[in-house]
Structure 1
């Protein structure tokens, strides 16, 4: 596995969220139309990242599932609060939400809108990110300094399943 700034990468898969106070870890994922929110409380030294597929479950009665933004965001923030973070100190960055051709409309755009609205309602300021367009993104969140390393390529059938490592275009 690739190392960034001395940190050990921990994958955040689809429908997962991770919270850490271990600054030796970094959190990493690959996104298409899905969205990841990176949260950091630099005072409490607690960070989290999620990876959700849709804003809400399409079914009215479904078990709690982190594939959906509503549950994923609530659980990630709650876990961070239990570990000592405060809403007042949290900072957010949003990534993903690529435009894709689907029968149900632009899922990526809906995911981004949901994440922005959720953070706004929660009172957590948005400090950056990279969303929309037609980019497949690989992000690595380094909680120790709040940096997110972004690698991206246009969405094509050849790279939506597997994304080869490329040099970072920029660090956000």
Structure 2
């Protein structure tokens, strides 16, 4: 299906959540961050979130899309507000690319990409969401383009190649690390 002439285009920055009920293309760029896409095949509505971290201690604060649990909660609320059940959506998840693979880590807790991946999978399970597709892990970044008029999600993954690793190592030496 071709892009409708009246289709809107929304670019999500880190921490943003978008939900649309009209023909819309949602885009984002992910590194260690993760994005959920939600698409309702019968209604052709849906949304996407772009979260940066797994969770926070939220005591009394409003929901913030920077955090996995809160970003997903915002998408779930949009689904319900539109008279639909979250389980009726086609859900896909992307991202969690390691951006600094050469950087030594003392503890696995410092690997934000892996923490985000684990959070996304645990949240999908907790909310009984069937993942129709996923593309997570590895290194580098992903460009995501999600068309609400047909549910297609396009992913371009750019792993960290030899040039990126060489540039990173040169920067580390220059910084005295």
TM-based fold match above 0.5 = yes
Q: Secondary structure at the match of 1:88?
A: helix
Question: Could you say what the CA RMSD is over the residues aligned between the two structures, in angstroms?
Answer: 2.1
- Map 1:10-29; keep pairs closer than 5 Å: 10-23=10-23, 25-29=24-28
Contact map agreement 2:27 2:143 (CA 8 A) in 1: yes
Q: TM-score, normalised by structure 1?
A: 0.80
Structure 1: 4+ residue segments shifted above 6 A: none
Structure number with the higher helix fraction is: 2
2:87–2:130 CA contact under 8 A, matched in 1: no
The aligned counterpart of 1:55 is 54
Which of the two has higher C-alpha Rg?
Answer: 2
Preserved contact between residue 92 and residue 133 of structure 2 (Cα < 8 Å): yes
- The 5 Å alignment of 1:35-50 reads 35-50=34-49
1:37–1:51 CA contact under 8 A, matched in 2? yes
Q: Distance in 1 between matches of 2:85 and 2:68?
A: 20
1:81 aligned onto 2:80: yes
Task: Number of aligned residue pairs: give it.
Answer: 153
Which 5+ residue runs of structure 1 have no aligned equivalent?
159-172
TM-score normalised to the size of structure 2? Answer: 0.78
What are the Cα deviations for residues 17-56 of structure 1, in whole angstroms up to 9, with x where unaligned? 0001112x11000000000000111123320100000010
